[in-house]
């Protein structure tokens, strides 16, 4: 907080100020496609241990910044740390992803939930933020993050990843008041968690709403967007001046509503052109995205052509944070990422002028 | 063809003519949620045998029409019959879905593909159409269907269902000309296949573009929508007057372009409200949809409330074909489907007036 940020391209782009070129970082940039990540992950023994050991979390957080010169670091962590701190018993199974030992299967379980205190029950996250901030020493901004209440609720109710969200949606239809109580608890938990990350040094905060797109349109607004708006309103007081990025995957039909949420920046997936997204959200909200992560499996010159297309679609560098439309995939060739970064660093001179 | 259709509600709704209430049918209405389907399926021995035996395919096609009084029958078949007839060797594995023995893994394999003759190489489908038409004897219209060229291409290139379509998308970026040759072959194959279904008696034709939503916006238009437009243009000559329903799942950002495709009706998934979809496509194209299939896991009275919301969102019965936003799910309670049908049959009096 006290150290000034040397590369503040991301912060200026988020404020829609002029920048020499769009900042670039990638969702899931610290991850399995990097050999140095796999080495640290092996040292940690498990994914959760890696999240819970501040020095190792710091190590992997910085790896992609060191290798690619990204304009931001994003804290290495997981959205399910919060429900884990609420007592649901998070574990990861190889190949099957996250699961909870105690999913919420009745209203009594929902009503028993408490709001975890970030500095005690999620202290390892706050320590990781402080360790990363100290190590970064102001090189680039640090992004802290959390899952959206709706997205966390789906995991907590289903007990694991789901394709159809049958239990969460049944609750939505059959006992919407119970779902709203769960979401209200999560609004408090996530709001306090993000505010604590900002207090510990995070320069930017991001809400990942991975499953907002599973809801129908009125359901999205009521159960996904409104809880996120409440968190953003809380952060405006608890962490004033800290930009918030909101990303609901698969919700491009709701961009206009998202632009009214109070978020500084809206993340968009690859199924809409940035020109159309810009027209929908107006000039005062930054946009983040939106190259298809699978485009990175093309040849490097094709990757660069796609980067130029994305940059040209937005047109101006102010208000554009270059990113993928979703997290980078495990088997992504590293030379593609180098080609991607090079294209953002150089071709913008032609495209943005 | 010669027998007049007694219940022509679907045909009139597709022409945006006045109807007493919206017609209703459900994607995948002949399927595993029905005990009578499971009995016929067991008799057939395998899913493919069921598709390939006209009498059994006819039996399951009529089951949901008999049970629920739906306003249309849809031929029981599979979109992968076409690539199977092209020599890719379709088989189904329990729990893992469809797979091809000979996926397209190089350009030579693409260039070797021929266009199957529907009345010889896909004769079992045409026989099923004729059998169903004879048995229906004009009760309700029969919908024939095919997969879109892009959707078929993804299965043919990946060899099976895919989450990220890595091979298909890599081909798109690295050798778009080869992908276009594959799509051109599929345009011919699907165009002839659908025209033959119409000649055999299908009253309505539908293009299922299950994976259009995986593409970015320019890719969707180039590789998914344009091939479908070519098929629709072919059908305008080869099967004049036969309505065509186009459904690209997860492509609501492209509704305006879809409305210009020449299709009679656009299918929409549940992530957009019909009022917004109607505004986007204008008054002259019918809309089909769009209840979340998971809503059928709610209590019957909640199902009916959701039906009324969908009906009210469209507002008028002309130009609305009631359906789910995707196929009905395997474990759907049958009483929910009864409640759904009842709500469409009755509540429209209140909603549509």
Handedness of CA B308, B314, B318, B320 (dihedral sign): negative
Take residue A8 and report the two structure tokens written for it.
Answer: 């503040």
Pick from B199, B184, B74: nearest CA to B140? B74
Pick from B148, B336, B294, B277: nearest CA to B225? B148
Predicted confidence at residue A163, as pLDDT, reads 87
Would the pLDDT of B351 be above 80? no
> Which residues from chain B sit within 8 angstroms of residue A169, using beta carbons?
292, 294-295, 297-298
Predicted confidence at residue B96, as pLDDT, reads 76
A317 burial level (CB within 10 Å; 0-12, 13-18, 19+): buried
| Element holding B343 (H helix, E strand) | helix B334-346
Give catalytic residues of A, as residue numbers. Answer: 28, 32, 41, 78, 155
Burial B210-236 (b: 16+ CB within 10 A, else e): bbbbbbbbebbbbbbbbbbbbbbebbe
Interhelix angle for A123-136 vs A54-68, to 10°? 40
Q: What one-character-per-residue DSSP string does B75-137 give?
A: ----TTHHHIIIII-EEEETTTEEEESS---SHHHHHH--PPPHHHHTHHHHHHHHHHHHHHT
Q: Which of B294, B298, B308 to mutate to test the interface with A (most CBs of A within 10 A)?
A: B294
Inter-chain Cβ pairs, chain A and chain B, closer than 8 A: 104
Q: What one-character-per-residue DSSP string does B249-261 give?
A: TT-GGGHHHHHTT
Task: Give the C-alpha separation, A182 to B313, whole Å.
Answer: 28
Take residue B345 and report the two structure tokens written for it.
Answer: 């049959």
State whether A273 and B217 contact (CB < 8 Å): yes
The minimum CA-CA distance between B173 and chain A, rounded to whole Å, is: 6
The minimum CA-CA distance between B294 and chain A, rounded to whole Å, is: 6
Q: What is the dihedral of CA B287, B212, A309, A21, to 10 degrees?
A: 90
Coil, helix or strand for B179? helix
- List residues bridging with B100 in a β-sheet: B90
Task: Give the C-alpha separation, B124 to B90, whole Å.
Answer: 15
Chain length of chain A: 353
Task: Give the C-alpha separation, B188 to B186, whole Å.
Answer: 5
Take residue A7 and report the two structure tokens written for it.
Answer: 């590369």
Pick from B219, B117, B195, B112: nearest CA to B156? B112
Pairing between β-strand A97-100 and β-strand A90-93 as defined by DSSP bridges: antiparallel
* B-chain residue closest to A271, CA distance: B216
pLDDT digits (tens, 9 = 90+) for B167-221: 999 999 999 999 999 999 999 999 999 999 999 999 999 999 999 999 999 999 9
pLDDT digits (tens, 9 = 90+) for B219-259: 999 999 999 999 999 999 999 999 999 999 999 999 999 99
B9-286 topology per CATH: TIM Barrel (3.20.20)
> ∠ CA A117-A119-A123 to the nearest 5 degrees?
110
Choose among A294, A309, A325: nearest Cβ to B164.
Answer: A294
> Which residues from chain A sit within 8 angstroms of residue B270, using beta carbons?
216-217
DSSP state of B87: I
Take residue A16 and report the two structure tokens written for it.
Answer: 């829609």
Would the pLDDT of B352 be above 60? no
Backbone phi and psi for residue B171, each to the nearest 5 degrees, phi listed first: -60, -40
State whether A271 and B215 contact (CB < 8 Å): yes
| Element holding B156 (H helix, E strand) | helix B149-158
- Cα separation values, A209 from A97, A145, A269, B297, Å: 17, 11, 12, 23
Q: What percent of chain B has pLDDT over 70?
A: 97
> Which residues from chain B sit within 8 angstroms of residue A292, using beta carbons?
169, 215-216, 219
State whether B253 and A251 contact (CB < 8 Å): no
Task: Give the C-alpha separation, B345 to B307, whole Å.
Answer: 11
Give catalytic residues of B, as residue numbers. Answer: 28, 32, 41, 78, 155
- List residues bridging with B73 in a β-sheet: B142
Number of Cβ within a 10 Å radius of residue A166: 18
State whether A309 and B218 contact (CB < 8 Å): yes
Q: How confident is the model at residue B347 (pLDDT cuts 50, 70, 90)?
A: low
Q: How confident is the model at residue B3 (pLDDT cuts 50, 70, 90)?
A: confident
Take residue B81 and report the two structure tokens written for it.
Answer: 């019959």
Q: How confident is the model at residue B12 (pLDDT cuts 50, 70, 90)?
A: very high
Number of Cβ within a 10 Å radius of residue A159: 18
Pick from A153, A288, A264, A146: nearest CA to A206? A146
- Within chain A, residue ranges assigned H as helices are 9-14, 35-44, 47-52, 54-68, 81-83, 107-112, 118-121, 123-136, 149-158, 166-174, 176-200, 217-219, 226-238, 255-259, 274-281, 300-314, 334-346, 348-352
Q: Which of B216, B272, B329, B331 to mutate to test the interface with A (most CBs of A within 10 A)?
A: B216
> Which residues from chain B sit within 8 angstroms of residue A299, using beta carbons?
173-174
pLDDT digits (tens, 9 = 90+) for B92-122: 877 778 999 999 999 999 999 999 999 999 9
Q: Which of A294, A297, A325, A329 to mutate to test the interface with B (most CBs of B within 10 A)?
A: A294
Across chain B, mean pLDDT equals 95
Q: How confident is the model at residue B2 (pLDDT cuts 50, 70, 90)?
A: low
Take residue B148 and report the two structure tokens written for it.
Answer: 């879109």
| Element holding A73 (H helix, E strand) | strand A73-74
The minimum CA-CA distance between A273 and chain B, rounded to whole Å, is: 6
Residues B322-334, mean pLDDT to the nearest whole number: 97
> ∠ CA A190-A194-A197 to the nearest 5 degrees?
140
Q: Which of B33, B166, B172, B173 to mutate to test the interface with A (most CBs of A within 10 A)?
A: B173
Domain-by-domain residue ranges, chain A? Answer: 9-352
Pairing between β-strand A320-324 and β-strand A286-291 as defined by DSSP bridges: parallel
State whether B329 and A169 contact (CB < 8 Å): no
Q: What percent of chain A has pLDDT over 70?
A: 97
State which residues of chain A have pLDDT below 50: 1, 349-353
Choose among B251, B272, B297: nearest Cβ to A217.
Answer: B272
| Predicted TM-score (pTM) of this structure | 0.95
Pick from B292, B326, B294: nearest CA to B309? B292
Pick from B198, B201, B213: nearest CA to B249? B213
| Element holding B234 (H helix, E strand) | helix B226-238
> Which residues from chain B sit within 8 angstroms of residue A290, using beta carbons?
216
The complex's ipTM works out to 0.93
Choose among B166, B218, B294: nearest Cβ to A169.
Answer: B294
> Could you name the CATH architecture of A9-352?
Alpha-Beta Barrel (3.20)
């Amino acid at each position: 907080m006290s150290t000034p940020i040397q590369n503040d391209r991301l912060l200026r782009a988020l404020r829609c100020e002029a920048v020499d070129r769009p900042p670039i970082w990638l969702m899931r940039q610290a991850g399995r496609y990097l050999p140095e990540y796999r080495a640290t992950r092996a040292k940690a023994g498990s994914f959760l241990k890696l999240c819970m050991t501040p020095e190792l979390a710091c190590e992997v957080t910085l790896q992609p910044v060191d290798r690619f010169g990204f304009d931001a670091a994003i804290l290495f962590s997981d959205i399910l740390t919060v429900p884990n701190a609420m007592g649901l018993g998070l574990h990861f199974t190889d190949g099957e992803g996250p699961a909870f030992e105690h999913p919420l299967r009745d209203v009594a379980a929902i009503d028993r939930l408490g709001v975890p205190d970030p500095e005690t029950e999620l202290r390892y996250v706050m320590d990781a933020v402080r360790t990363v901030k100290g190590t970064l020493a102001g090189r680039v901004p640090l992004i802290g993050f959390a899952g959206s209440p709706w997205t966390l609720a789906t995991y907590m109710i289903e007990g694991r990843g789901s394709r159809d969200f049958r239990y969460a949606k049944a609750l939505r239809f059959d006992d919407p008041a119970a779902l709203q109580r769960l979401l209200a608890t999560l609004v408090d938990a996530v709001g306090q968690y993000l505010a604590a990350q900002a207090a510990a040094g995070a320069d930017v905060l991001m809400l990942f709403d991975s499953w907002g797109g599973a809801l129908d349109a009125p359901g999205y607004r009521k159960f996904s967007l409104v809880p996120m708006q409440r968190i953003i309103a809380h952060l405006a007081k608890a962490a004033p001046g800290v930009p918030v990025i909101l990303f609901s995957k698969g919700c491009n039909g709701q961009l206009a509503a998202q632009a009214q949420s109070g978020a500084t920046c809206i993340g968009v997936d690859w199924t809409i052109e940035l020109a159309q997204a810009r027209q929908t959200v107006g000039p005062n909200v930054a946009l983040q995205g939106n190259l298809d992560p699978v485009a990175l499996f093309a040849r490097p010159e094709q990757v660069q052509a796609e980067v130029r297309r994305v940059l040209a679609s937005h047109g101006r560098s102010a208000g554009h944070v270059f990113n993928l439309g979703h997290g980078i995939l495990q088997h992504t060739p590293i030379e593609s990422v180098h080609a991607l970064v090079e294209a953002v660093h150089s071709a913008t001179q032609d495209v943005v002028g």
